[in-house]
Structure formats: structure tokens, C-alpha cells
Amino acid sequence: MAVAKSSSFNETSKQPCNCYKVASLSETILETGQTANLKDRYILGEQLGWGQFGVIRLCSDKLTREVLACKSISKDRLVTSDDARSVKLEIEIMTRLSGHPNVVDLKAVYEDEDYVHLVMELCAGGELFHRLEKYGRFYEADARVLFRHLMQVVLYCHEIGIVHRDLKPENILLATKASSSPIKLADFGLATYIEPGKCLHGTVGSPFYIAPEVLAGGYNQAADIWSAGVILYILLSGTPPFWGKTKSRIFDAVRAADLQFPSDPWDRISDSAKNLVRGMLNTDPSQRFTALQVLGIRISALVLDRQSFMMFNHPR
């Protein structure tokens, strides 16, 4: 069974973002002439999480009663002009990707005196990271379904010149609490554009998932493939391929890239899955699989048995 063939999302299906500012603002981050106040339309609820620049809360639409999520970015924490540009870029990229079935949908953006609020769809199933914490690892057939969806959105990003730069289970959300929930890629705070044949610079990403060429100083879209390969390794085994007790030791392990497949559990995982991991974790970015190649490779010829349908329900 193939992971998939290609990205099928039509960019023309995406919706433009609705951006608003309060009328009293003289200096703004958003470039919009529309005025409105978040609290006139939405009720903010309990806190769901937090990040470098702000918090994420439940958010209820007064008109439709739809329950959403609101990421409120504190403008006080946007210390430099680069910080402000990063927020604008995140909004621009999310707007461009909105409508893709495997991307968190951005509904509207509001700016007031203290915050920039991103109103998004709520993914009730939470982070893939927490599902992994609870159950350890995935059956290969189940991992194949989830990973196919991830690679479809990665392919689409790469086709339109976007690099996510922070692929990890914490940024992959489950749309519902159902065992068969679709995934939604989230947090485009480190995402950026890249031109064909060009390189990006600067150490960006999360330690366990960062590609060796990012640490070396120059990289392109292939860095996302490395991160996705690490995610696949973790989905199948429950552990990262490159380990260290400190950030610097993790970086050393990534640079060494001594990829191993311990007998427990890898003896029970197909050769095709291991070969896929090897191709995605090739230390030479020019020889590493592309997203399109990944989607055309058979991750498993596994026949679905009764246990394979019990997705996430039992640890292994």
C-alpha cells in the first residue's frame, strides 16, 4: 500500500484571511484597513497552552457558537522588528495554506493595543506528541495513514516554496478525539519562503528533529524531510533515532547521524519502512528523498489484521 501519490489540494480553494484592528490603534503590525474588536465577536475561555510569544485559549463564536482556539501573541514580547516580521509572515503563510485539509485553518486575525489574536479551528484531539506519550508507538499500518497525511501537506508546502522548519509531534494536531482522527499541521511561527536553488541560514528548529545541514549553516526544503523522517522513526519505535541528555549532545548525535535499528522493535517492522527511514535520514540533502518520492514509496505491504484497526487503543 503506497503512502500516496501526490498533493491533491487545489490552492484556489483556500479562503482569504479576515484581518482586523481596533479603530484606536495608531501603530499596527497588521496591514489592514478593516476595524473590529475580537471581544465583540468571540468569548475567550480556558487556557490550552502557551508559547514563546503568548498563550492559546478556547474561543467561542458569539454568532455561530462554534468553539475555536485563539492564539494571543503579546506585542510586549515582540522586542525587535524581526519579531514583528515573523508574526506577519506566520499569518501570511497560514492564510496561504488555509483550506488544506491537513493544515490548521486560520479563521481571522485581530490586533488590539496589547495582542495580535489568531483565531483558528480547534483540534480537540490535542498534540500527536501526547498520543505518543500515552501509547508509546503506532502499529505500522496506522503510522502509514498518519504519515501519508503529513507528507501530503509537506509536499504542498514545498511545491509553493514554503519550508516549515519545525516539524515535530508537538506541532501535529489531531482534529478530533477519535482513534481515526485526521491530522492538522500547526505552528508556522518558524516557517518561511525559499526560492528554487537557494539556501537558508541560521540554526532554526527543535533539537531532536533538526537536520545536520541546519547545524552546519546552510539548508533548503530537504531539512523538512529529515525532520519528517525522525517523526516516522518515532512513530514506529517510540524513541528518537538520535539521542542526548543535553541540547549540545543531541546536536552531536545528529551530526554523527549513526542511524541504528535495534532489534526491539525494529525486527517486527518491515524492511520497506526501514528503507524509507534511511532514505529520509540520508545525511546528504541532495540524495535525501523528496516529499514526492516519499509519497510514491511503499511504506508497508502489511496486511491489516484485527489489531491494526484498533488505532491508538493499546500500547505495544
The angle at the Cα of 251, spanning 249 to 252, to the nearest 5 degrees, equals 60
**Residue at 5 is within a domain:** no
* Residues composing the chain: 316
Q: What is the mean pLDDT of residues 70-90?
A: 93
pLDDT at 70: 97
| Residues in contact with 139: Cβ distance below 8 Å, sequence separation at least 6, in sequence order | 307, 308, 311, 316
Q: What is the dihedral of CA 120, 121, 124, 125, to 10 degrees?
A: -90
In single-letter form, the type of residue at position 99 comes to G
How many Å apart are CA 269 and CA 267, to the nearest integer?
Answer: 6
Which cell goes with 236? 514506529
Q: Are residues 35 and 165 in the same domain?
A: no
Domain carrying residue 78: 11-121
Q: What is the pTM of this model?
A: 0.87
Model confidence at 259: pLDDT above 80: yes
Mean per-residue pLDDT, 254-265: 97
CB 230 within 8 A of CB 241: yes
Q: What is the 3-state secondary structure (H, E, C) of the chain?
A: CECCCCCCCCHHHCCCCEEEECCCCCCCCCCCCCECCHHHHEEEEEEEEECCCEEEEEEEECCCCCEEEEEEEEHHHCCCHHHHHHHHHHHHHHHHHCCCCCECCEEEEEECCCEEEEEEECCCCEEHHHHHHHHCCCCHHHHHHHHHHHHHHHHHHHHCCEECCCCCHHHEEECCCCCCCCEEECCCCCCEECCCCCCECCCCCCHHHCCHHHHHCCECCHHHHHHHHHHHHHHHHCCCCCCCCCHHHHHHHHHHCCCCCCHHHHCCCCHHHHHHHHHHCCCCCCCCCCHHHHHCCECCCCCCCHHHHCCCCCCC
Burial 87-120 (b: 16+ CB within 10 A, else e): bebbbebbbbbbbbebbbbbbbbbbbeebbbbbb
Q: Which of 58, 87, 121 delimits the end of a domain?
A: 121
| 35 part of a folded domain | yes
136 and 117 within one domain: no
According to the model, what pLDDT value does residue 274 have? 96
Q: Name the region of 99 (left: φ>0; alpha: ψ -120 to 50; beta: rest).
A: left
**pLDDT tens, residue by residue, 173-185:** 999 988 789 999 9
Q: What are the residue numbers of the active site? A: 166
Least confident of 115-119, 120-124, 127-131, 307-311: 307-311
Check pLDDT > 60 for residue 130.
yes
Q: How high is the pLDDT of residue 313? A: 36
Q: Is residue 316 part of a domain?
A: no
Domain termination site, one of 121, 151, 177: 121
Q: Are residues 117 and 130 in the same domain?
A: no
Do 158 and 302 belong together in one domain?
yes
- Asked if residue 236 belongs to a domain, the reply is yes
Least confident stretch, 24-28, 117-121, 219-223, 264-268: 24-28
Binding-site residue positions for ATP? 71
CATH number of 208's domain:
1.10.510.10
Count of domains observed in the chain: 2
Please tell me whether residues 70 and 157 are part of one structural domain: no
Extract the C-alpha cell encoding 39: 471581544
- Please list, residue by residue across 202-241, b when 16 or more beta carbons sit within 10 angstroms of its beta carbon and e when fewer do: eebbbbbbbbbbbeeeebbbbbbbbbbbbbbbbbbbbebb
Question: Is 300 inside any structural domain?
Answer: yes
- Within-domain flag for 1: no
Express each pLDDT in 180-210 by its tens digit.
899 999 999 999 999 999 999 999 999 999 9
**Do 262 and 141 share a domain, yes or no?**
yes
Q: Do 220 and 278 lie in a common domain?
A: yes
CATH number of the domain encompassing residue 84: 3.30.200.20
Strand 42-50 vs strand 18-21: parallel, antiparallel, or unpaired?
unpaired
